[in-house]
Amino acid sequence: MWQTVCVIFVLKAGFNLIILMNSKIQVLFDGSVTSPLGFLAGAVYAGIKPKIHEALDLSLLYSEVTCRVAAVFTTNKVKAAPIILDRDKLEKGMGVRAVLINSGCANACTGTEGMQNAVISAELAAEFLGISADEVMVSSTGVIGMQLPVEKISEAIPQIALSRDGGHKLAKAIMTTDTRPKEYAVEVTGEDYCFIIGGAAKGSGMIHPNMATMLAYITTDAAVEGDFLKKALREVADATFNMVIVDGDTSTNDTLMILSSGKAGNRVINAESDLAEDFKSALYQVCLGLAKSIAADGEGATRLIEVVVTGALSESDARKAAITIAGSPLVKTAVHGNDPNWGRIIAAAGRSGIEMDTEKTDVYIGPMCLLKSGQPMPFERTIASSLLDQPEVMLKVDLNMGEGSASAWGCDLSAEYVAINAEYTT
């Protein structure tokens, strides 16, 4: 049941994270958001999105005990009703017992009625679970401007069967144009402790697409102090989910949430704890796994593109350049066409607003150097092309100016992306 993974090297992120052969962290085979102790989940088809084979559109994540919680929400000025509701609950500092998630309707730009519907949904879930509505978070993803069908949700909630392996169902139920569920879990084992972090995420697109919404739910049975949980989530999100780009659009509903049940029985982890680095490393690994799955499964994607920028004057510069390259339509189409058109890579870096000097810059496709100190290198086009014709493509820019480095993840841009997103809303 265990698949041992040796993480050889992870590019340093905001918190200078380098995992070298961290044998304490093991990827769980068949892991899910309910792998950590104390979590159950289930899902049903409530009729919110059109019925297709095995469709699920309403899921519930439940914890046997009240969890510490931290979350990161969309930076979009236009925020969906559930985002506003969840944020308010978080600000009150309440613990969380459950998360109700629907796909098929974003409940965004739905005015007063939309906010009422979000409140009602939380109350319906609370009633079913016999807990307080204050302890229920709600998430939505789907078409903007459509009102949430609360009657359907009311009828469907009692049909949800919660189980310890219900995480897989949840991962399916939150999908929209995702072609596959995204799950990842690791177990961290030390001399006198053992805890699990699990997660489920959905990426970009709707069956009747509206927004490229990113939803991710992380659970852990580790006992984690609230402030540290918040800080760790923010830092890890900046190096993982925030470095994923599919089409540059930011949803009104983006949500990343972590629940800590404390069921593992470890001593409480805080910033000073000797377990702090292990926890952050494991959280990073789970978030990285989910984030890369989102990039690889971007709408119409046929490849995962990893962009590594090194030698920047600052980490902020490196991040800007990496995300601009990964998001460039010209870079994305070139990769799609196996076109080793390195000019587009350096040009994207050049427009990202960072400090750079062409005469110092190196550009690589995989291990192959195409530009060295601003001078074009002779290269075998067929080999460069074949380096792009891979499920995972690595593009690298070394600015040779400083110590800042960062990675970003994206996908190629295919005609299929256009086809998916040019369809009618209904």
7-15, 17-25, 215-223, 335-343 -> range binding its own copies (CB under 8 A): 335-343
According to CB under 8 A, which one of 3, 29, 111, 164 is a site residue for its own copies? 111
> Does the footprint of its own copies cover residue 391 (CB under 8 A)?
no
> Does the footprint of its own copies cover residue 314 (CB under 8 A)?
no
d(CA 199, CA 286): 7
Looking at 297-409, list the stretches that DSSP marks H as alpha helix, in order from N- to C-terminal side. 315-327, 329-336, 342-351, 381-388
Residue 365 CA: distances (Å) to CA of 73, 305, 381, 392, 402: 34, 11, 11, 11, 21
d(CA 235, CA 72): 11
Write out the two tokens for 198: 């699990």
Q: How far is the CB of 170 from its own copies (least distance, A)?
A: 25
Q: How far is the CB of 316 from its own copies (least distance, A)?
A: 15
> Does the footprint of its own copies cover residue 256 (CB under 8 A)?
no
d(CA 232, CA 238): 10
d(CA 269, CA 181): 30
> Does the footprint of its own copies cover residue 382 (CB under 8 A)?
no
> Does the footprint of its own copies cover residue 376 (CB under 8 A)?
yes
Q: Which amino acid would we find at residue 160?
A: I
> Does the footprint of its own copies cover residue 406 (CB under 8 A)?
no
> Does the footprint of its own copies cover residue 354 (CB under 8 A)?
yes
42-50, 88-96, 122-130, 143-151 -> range binding its own copies (CB under 8 A): 143-151
Q: How far is the CB of 360 from its own copies (least distance, A)?
A: 12
> Does the footprint of its own copies cover residue 218 (CB under 8 A)?
no
**Residue 154 CB contacts under 8 Å (≥ 6 apart), including other chains:** 124
Given 74, 141, 213, 240, which residue is catalytic?
213
Tell me which residue of 273, 281, 304, 282 sits closest to 291, measured CA to CA. 304
> Does the footprint of its own copies cover residue 118 (CB under 8 A)?
no
| Size of interface with its own copies, in residues (CB under 8 A) | 70
Q: What is the CA radius of gyration of the chain?
A: 22
Q: How far is the CB of 291 from its own copies (least distance, A)?
A: 19
DSSP 151: H
Helix, strand and coil in the chain, % to nearest 5: 30, 25, 40
Tell me which residue of 87, 83, 150 sits closest to 121, measured CA to CA. 150
> Does the footprint of its own copies cover residue 237 (CB under 8 A)?
no
According to CB under 8 A, which one of 348, 365, 395, 411 is a site residue for its own copies? 348
Residue 264 CA: distances (Å) to CA of 126, 224, 261: 25, 11, 8
According to CB under 8 A, which one of 65, 351, 360, 403 is a site residue for its own copies? 351
- Chain centroid offset of residue 233 CA: 12
According to CB under 8 A, which one of 209, 262, 311, 410 is a site residue for its own copies? 209
Q: Give catalytic status of residue 176 as yes or no.
A: no
SS (H, E, C) 294-325: HHHCCCCCCCEEEEEEEEECCHHHHHHHHHHH
> Does the footprint of its own copies cover residue 281 (CB under 8 A)?
no
> Does the footprint of its own copies cover residue 145 (CB under 8 A)?
yes
The interface mask with its own copies, positions 69-108, x = CB under 8 A, is ------xxxxx--------------------------x-x
Q: Which is nearer to its own copies, 121 or 338 (CB)?
A: 338
Q: How far is the CB of 353 from its own copies (least distance, A)?
A: 8
125-133, 243-251, 269-277, 307-315 -> range binding its own copies (CB under 8 A): 243-251
Q: Which residues pair with 28 in a beta bridge?
A: 2
Q: Which residues of the chain form contacts with its own copies (CB under 8 A)?
A: 75-79, 106, 108-112, 143-147, 209-212, 247-252, 328-330, 333-334, 336-344, 346-351, 354-356, 358-359, 370-371, 374-376, 381, 385, 413-415, 417-419, 421-426
Which of the residues are catalytic? 213
